[in-house]
Structure 1
């Protein structure tokens, strides 16, 4: 029996459209991705309303090849394939390093990476642990909570805001803006693409103002370092500072929150893995964090744009066409992962692509995310070892972020 027969989707292959946000609300979307990976690993998809399209890559090896080939597949036009749908034209990205190609990307990434070295991240361990403990200690056994709003959204925003130097009083505002930047395809949030862009601008403006303050009164935080960066022998321009700040706050919050939320759901679906973690929370912390990130795949895709006419495996791709690498598919690739639909917190090796697939754009916050994930679950299960999800998680409508909007959990 093939995997596609074992995990059958109700969709015919020609009905599978990765550009449709409603596709990602389906319960069988992983099954549809399996069909694509087996039968049509490279395919063209178009948005049902705007008609804008992209080449989709769903095979693990193909995604690695595309991601590492920045000379043909450029990041300069945005990391989300849908950011300019409806405009009728290809728009450049925001000008931050994640939306640059080498050598510009290399130089700009180096500026920010000083805050994410393993040594710097280890210095945050005590603070991460204290925040995780503070969060779970607010509750008593038997409490039923919205795990997303009350736990998984709280820890990452506290950590990234502490890293950036955002005062405690402003952190709820940072969370509000961050939510709007990823909710522009979900009608429940009532956020249009324009409103999402406005939230991004507000994050940028806040970062610029905070950096200006830190130039006069520096502290031991990343925004103080960014405020002193030099580009071409001059201080980093305000628009670049704002871009750094918005990217780091939004990405540092949303992706880790999504991983923690899906991790809690996975521990409920696979209770034997929760018991396994309880038996050895330190010995399994590293592999558990990696498996949670693989399972969650917080970012479903990253976008690229063809810089030239280019042929890949017999497919003729044209200059200015878009491409999307779908980690949501590659992280369940049976050619890479044994029993890919099983949550296994001891999985090793675990070459998931949630932090990137090689090349220059590997996630610099990976070490921070891992530590937040394992410390949160260590503290949660130490206090409430039998906690579990009740009911179904409410999914975010998005082709980009594998978000969970709300999820009821009983703590016990």
Structure 2
């Protein structure tokens, strides 16, 4: 079901490692070609285009593109108590974790009378996307909304695909999660067209839409399929984005002390997301590798989404990778840069401190990725496709910007005036120097 890659006895450069390791193949460039006309259509025709695109892609023409407030309340009222309790606990924990992320303003005295301050300012408005294709993710609503709220964003809008079985509204649990979080601006809009609506705004076309359906936002965040990723790529620069999130990934670095059943169930848990989901085990233990392969074979067929899991595990993006030792294993997982990295080894905590590239690291046998998906207090919107080499998971930082404030008095400026003039003249920008000299003559 899952292939093997044997790196034992081989000394590879990082580039060679990256070429050897499994990865889902996503043609974002091709998707961007298909998405570009959708973005243009929404930008030019607003709500009318959104309704037609929903009919085309989601099989339903929503009467209400903006979800009526009473539908949000009704969804919360009918939410099963156990699910509500779970979402409330998730919100509480994620809020605690993100409150600690708020960056602090600071002031530096460069010289007497010379002061530079840095203020962290939240963006004014954000658009948050919650997928609704193969699975429904109220947990993604929690992750996106709480991070933005803890950053201090005042205006939040959520979009999720309309569903035919829900009368053209998003899934009821998505609506209930929005109500729990106090978000009342929710749209029945999915995919690339949701990204376009947030980036460009949209005028109304029906009386219930109003003259303006949706005002443009400053930042768009949230996971989605390859078309959502392509849309984000195309609107970057018009708005800020979190990342071009692709299919989910789990890598497990494990030695002979790991429980094969735990590893197998963790690989399967991520494989059930998507046929393109990646599941990778890196281990120096042939015995563990064989035991995990056997457990995966036994368990995968019994899970609810067996066909999807089987496709993901058999795909080129998934593999068991054999290494000489944990030192080589550490180099492998760093080169891979997984969205989720579990470490199930002796001294797992010490190894975790040495990892440079991972979206989130789960240490030891009692910290499965599923914990991070819901209740850890961390964020589950994480960089995929190797983007963990340079990008972070979603957090407060995605919704704030640093503004520098410079304040010098006369003496402080005079002290450096001649030096400014000298550098400005050397750059052949004499008017820069004159702007300084004019203050003293």
Q: Give the TM-score range, shorter chain.
A: under 0.3
Structure with greater strand share of residues: 2
Larger relative contact order (CA 8 Å, sep ≥ 6): 1
Whose radius of gyration is greater, 1 or 2?
2
Normalising by the residue count of structure 1, what TM-score does the alignment of the two structures yield? 0.25
